[in-house]
Amino acid sequence: MNLTQSDIEQIEAHGLSVDDVQTQFMNFITGFPFVQLSEAATIDNGILKLNEKESEEAIQYFQNNKDKHSILKFVPSSGAATRMFKDLFEFSALYMGLQYTLKEFPEAKKTIDNLNKFAFFDELKQRFEAHSVSIDEYLERGDYTTIINYILTEIGLNYGKLPKALILFHKYPEDKERKCRHAIEEHFVEAANYCKEENKDVNIHFTISIEHKEEFERVLKEIQPYYEKLFDVKYNISFSFQKQITDTIALTQDNALAYDKDGKIIFRPSGHGALIENLNDIKGDIIFIKNIDNVAHDRFKNSTYKYKNLIAGILLQTQEKVFSSLKALEKGKLNSQELVDIIELTNKLGIGLSKEETSGNKSENILKQVFNKLNRPIRVCAMVK
């Protein structure tokens, strides 16, 4: 790939090197190799299945020990709502205004037909009324294009440009102050129920797009005092932005570098995997990770709380065993039972040494490998059948 001096300056200003971009280019051209999987994870081979007694013990263990730890909720929140409304975008771009063409947009029509069930409906009505018109009139005459424009563009809700975090997700008509909640509010509610520290602090970190920072801060100023009073907690909210150095170039169909209308290189943000950099920058003994739109209505939250407490309990139980094993390995001169326990633990965690790693190796080298495998962050996640 041939780069101009202007290209190189733009690349370096973005925090990338020419070598980084050349590597990205070659990955696009040659493709990425498939991951070589050794076998499927199954119960007792990578997946832990708990009975009711074990589940209750893990939950209780977290409850009994969480005050010894700093807790934080990490919420990737930069995702735009574009995919949520992709059917409306398609309708808006292609609809010709003829009744018989509606059957070509069944999902968009379904959305309009059920509009009053959405949490944002009342606010949408208010946007129409602000222009001295009624949404009911447009619904009656089937003016779907105008209604969708009010949903997606700045004339109305502007949901086509907002991040999912700031979209009204759920209705709570019984709540006098917050009859509808944004996605971000549901994380405030969740965090107060399983991330509260002994001093009543609740720590939440959101990764956001820099262009949405002001809007996030506006919504936070509106909602934070309400939920602090409701749950008798103090929220410590922090933000970070996905790092530019994780962005990738884009190519045209001819495998040439893509530029925007101003002649600037198009850089695209990577997926959520790139947020490992942001995660590495924050501090917390226990970090709950949950995407911004993975939230449930209050009537379904009890099961969420149960399993969050459960996986945190498994984390702390596992951590205790790992720390004990690491101390024994550092001490040296393991007795036979300690060695058996450590080997069983590594096997249970799916990080046991292979025959290739042990064959012909000295015992001290084997123990060093075991130590390195155990001396790492611990991640626990749920498995859905």
Q: How does residue 93 score in pLDDT terms, banded at 50, 70 and 90?
A: confident
Q: Which two tokens stand for residue 116?
A: 């009053």
Q: Rounded to an integer, what distance in angstroms lies between the CA atom of residue 197 and that of residue 239?
A: 20
pLDDT band at 99, cuts 50/70/90? low
Instruction: Output the pTM of the full model.
Output: 0.88
* The two structure tokens encoding residue 325: 């094993």
192: left (phi over 0), alpha (psi -120 to 50) or beta: alpha
Q: Are 155 and 149 in contact (CB under 8 A)?
A: yes
Question: pLDDT tens across 189-207, in order?
Answer: 999 999 999 999 999 999 9
Q: CA 259, CA 148: separation in Å to the nearest integer?
A: 31
β-pairing verdict for 168-171 and 180-182: antiparallel
Q: Is the pLDDT of residue 365 over 90?
A: no
Per-residue DSSP letter, 233: -
Dist. CA 142–CA 109, nearest whole Å: 10
pLDDT of 98 above 80: no
Full DSSP string of 166-214: GSEEEE-TT-SS-SEEEHHHHHHHHHHHHS--TTSEEEEEEEE-GGGHH
pLDDT digit string (tens) for 242-261?
A: 888 888 999 999 999 999 99
Q: Which amino acid, 250?
A: A
> Is pLDDT of 100 > 70?
no
88: its two tokens: 């409306």
Per-residue confidence at 289, pLDDT binned at 50, 70, 90? very high
Residue 385 has pLDDT above 80, yes or no: no
Average pLDDT over residues 227-243: 96
Structure tokens at 38: 């050794």
